[in-house]
Amino acid sequence: MVLEGEGKMVSATEECVGPMRLTQEPIQVLLVFAKEDGQSDAFWWACDRAGFRCNIARTPESAVECFLDKNHEIVVIDGRHSQYFEAEAVCRLVRATKPSEHTVLLAIVPQTPLDQEEPSVRPLLCAGFSRRYVENISVSACYNELLQIEHGEVRCQFKLRACNSVFTALDHCQEAVEITSEDHVIQYVNPAFEHMMGYHKGELIGKELTELPKSDKNRADLLDTINTCIKKGKEWQGIYYARRKSGDSIQQHVKITPVIGQGGKIRHFVSIKRPHSDNNKQVQKINRDGDHSQSESHSLRHRDRRKESVDARSISSRSSDAPSLQNRRYSSVARIHSMTIEAPITKVINIINAAQESSPVSVADALDRVLEILRTTELYSPQLASKEDDPHTNDLVGGLMSDGLRSLSGNEYVFSKSTLPNMSQLAIPVTLNDIPPAIAEMLDDEDQWDFNILELEAATCMRPLTYLGLKIFARFSVCEFLSCSEATLRCWLQVIEANYHASNSYHNSTHAADVLHATAYFLRKEKVKGSLDQLDEVAALIAATVHDVDHPGRTNSFLCNAGSELAILYNDTAVLESHHAALAFQLTVRDIKSNIFKNIDRTQFRTLRQAIIDMVLATEMTRHFEHVNKFANSINKPMAAIEESSSNSEGSDNEGPASIRNSPENRLLIKRMMIKCADVANPCRPLELCIEWAGRISEEYFSQTDEEKREALPVVMPVFDRNTCSIPKSQISFIDYFITDMFDAWDAFASLPGLMEHLSENYKYWKGLDDMKCKSLRPPSPP
């Protein structure tokens, strides 16, 4: 007899396997208990609480019958009373069925008396059980056990089942697919690959690529070029000659994609191959149909050997009975090549293509590499050596400058948005004149670079942003510019500060206040002040205030890997920065009491809003080197050249440098550079502040690594493991890679000798600790 009871109905959940999103119905649980007792009731109610569907079977026969009908994800078998049935025998019966391959079997075992040794789980595992549960009739204990199984074994089994559909697709794919391990051992080939190469998969799987015969038609250094590219985690595609089993060489278009796996390392390489011979015919046909000249035909054939030309010109139907479709495709491709719309980079590429035609092979190959570099989207990002050279730098770059798409996980991190505060719940703000004397005295020094923001944090009970904001905004006449009252500004500052997470060790309102202080300090510098108008100044102060509002204490890479709501909303691109900017305006306009923009006209608001958004987005690190290089090339170098020229000429004025600084494009670069430097100015603060900020950001990264390991997510920055990390090394890498060049450029413009002196001293401090092999913030105390 089978007793069936349905738990509370819940909606189907979704699980991700790579980019594939699959729907999972509510989990089904089968309880195999010979009689009803406290333990069976506890699991029944635990299933009900979890929203799982539950069946109960009283005999081994009915258990197998029910399992074959429902295909449960979890089967719980009572192993406490052998007089009714043997739990191991029931387990073997279930395991003998085909659907049990992806099922978790849980054995209920009696508690062991304190004076007896714990029995081994090996017999249970050998019988086919996945795990055991020691008798405990607490509903919460059973509920926790079921949740752990769901989030562990069940999800893993679900992903394994989903993989069958992926391999089915690969088996029917018309392109040849080969999957190898990180050591280039063949692990999978599809039937199309077997047909193309003439091998049976049994002859290939388990062999290293080096064991297979190679064609002698490839360039001597081609394999080295390919390996160098894919070992960096970059995709390679191009033309390659492979040798079939018969000994013939076949020209293929090959795309090799590294697959990042556990630990953020390359675990597999996926190669997609298709014959290339038909492509040349298509190119020649296009040339004939288009009545091109002989030289143009030669040019197309020459460019066709390069990877960028293949996809555009090798469109061919796989079916021979579709001539009209082929003709339409030929016509479309021909029209594409007759287009005259060209971007500057396209013109550069065309010039290089033309130069290749009359160049020796060695020069043409070198220009090929130039084209490969020009086609990357990361023209301004330095390429690092292998991870082993400097893991701290590589992890910082990977964590701060990528969108985290190393390897998506099925685990979902749902971002907990701060509740928007109700204005009636906010404390009545004080006026600037009513600030407590101790705080007012601290704020008297806010115009000094050595201002101690951490003392203000303590004195204001973690509300430094409101107090410092009132003082700085008054100094820059922000209320007068916006035509808003001081009460509106106070309310706005409190709303913004309330939406920073005080629980974050680093990205909290104290960091925002620190960035606001640095921005105000920079705005008072002569060249900066002379380059910007008041709207720029107001936009910069507001952007600094809101630039990290509602920051979760996790990086963009983490949110993308976890499939967070924000990452989905912003398409894995500048996720946090987009959220900060959007939320800042939502918070501002939602209540008239805190809307500092309510009295300015539409045109001025749009200009101000655009400037604020642009500055907040500039704090995103993926474009760090682009911003720094543009600033250096558009402002530093032209100004230096003009100043040098002026020094050699009598009677020259300073109109030249001013005109460079004041152009709209360069004012934009100055504002971006200013907030970027303010955002990461910690290494340029006095040593004690530098040390404290280093500890705070390290703790935040440690916490992220802890959660990544806990949730089985890719670890974005493995060196930030709280048990092994060297904080001095991480600071040295951060200064070397991100800070030095940027502040050199900013100092050359704004003249900041005090900051550069702090930077030098702090760098020496971290180097000293590293030389001592000290991994902590401070040197060990003397014995």
* 74: three-class secondary structure by DSSP: strand
CA angle 315/319/323 to nearest 5° reads 75
Of 626, 632, 673, 631, the closest CA to residue 376 belongs to 626
d(C-alpha 82, C-alpha 90), whole Å: 11
d(C-alpha 490, C-alpha 504), whole Å: 23
Longest CA–CA span in the chain (Å) reads 110
**Numbered residues of the known binding site for AMP:** 507-511, 548, 679, 731
Q: Which of 253, 276, 507, 580 is catalytic?
A: 507
**Numbered residues of the known binding site:** 507-511, 547-548, 679, 731
175 Cβ neighbours under 8 A, 6+ residues apart: 192, 272, 273, 274
**Numbered residues of the known binding site for Zn(2+):** 511, 547-548, 679
Q: Cβ atoms within 10 A of the Cβ of 543, count? A: 29
Let me know if 507 is a catalytic residue: yes
The two three-digit tokens of residue 452, written as one number: 């101690």
The one-letter amino acid code at 107 reads A
d(C-alpha 440, C-alpha 255), whole Å: 64
Quote the DSSP letter at residue 57.
E
d(C-alpha 257, C-alpha 235), whole Å: 5
Quote the DSSP letter at residue 185.
B
CB 74 within 8 A of CB 113: no
What is the signed CA dihedral for 623, 627, 630, 631, rounded to 10 degrees?
A: -170
Of 80, 107, 109, 81, the closest CA to residue 92 belongs to 107
Tell me phi and psi for residue 267, to 5 degrees: -110, -25
d(C-alpha 629, C-alpha 48), whole Å: 60
Q: How many CA atoms lie within 13 A of 327 on its CB side?
A: 4
DSSP string, 230-278: HHTT--EEEEEEEE-TTS-EEEEEEEEEEEE-GGG-EEEEEEEEEE-HH
CB 329 within 8 A of CB 317: yes
Residues noted as catalytic? 507
